[in-house]
Homo-oligomer: A and B are copies of this chain.
Amino acid sequence: MQQTTAIHMLESLASGIRLDIYRLLVKHISAGLVAGDIAQQLELPATNLSFHLKNMTQAGLLSVTQQGRYQRYRANLPQMLALIGYLTEECCGGEASACLDFSSLMYCAGQQCDTPAQTISET
């Protein structure tokens, strides 16, 4: 990963609204959400949401597919994994796995999930 790519991703995520958008889309990793749904769930004006969605898409955080007049957004998890790899590169002199401990974390990565995430329960 290039440095500029990482910066764009981090800049994009470093905003309360965009962080909410990203985390919401991670919860709906397989199906994604259309812009209107996101606007409704996060109570954002369409104009402002559109600004942030464009920002995140250009940063590579999200992918978009058009469905008629709807735009369906999804979190780009492989790209997030690449960012994490960039951030932790060359740790322990290249022997990264030497001090790895992810057991207590709740992740979801690799390719898209095959198990659809339909249960929405954000407080």
Contacts and interface: CB of A to CB of B under 8 A. Distances in A.
Given A91-B113, A92-B108, A102 B99 contact: no
Number of copies of chain A assembled together: 2
A101 B91 contact: no
Contacts of A108: 88, 91-92, 95-100
Contacts of A43: none
A113 to B, nearest CB: 4
Contacts of A20: 3
Interface in A89-123: 89-102, 105-119, 122
Interface in A48-101: 77, 80-81, 84-101
A interface bracket (residues with beta carbon within 8 Å of B): 35 or more
A106 B94 contact: yes
Given A7-B15, A26-B91, A91-B108, 15 more contacts: A3-B16, A7-B14, A23-B86, A26-B87, A26-B89, A29-B92, A88-B105, A90-B122, A91-B109, A92-B113, A92-B117, A95-B115, A99-B108, A100-B110, A101-B111
Interface of A: 3, 6-7, 10-11, 13-16, 19-20, 22-23, 26-27, 29-30, 77, 80-81, 84-102, 105-119, 122
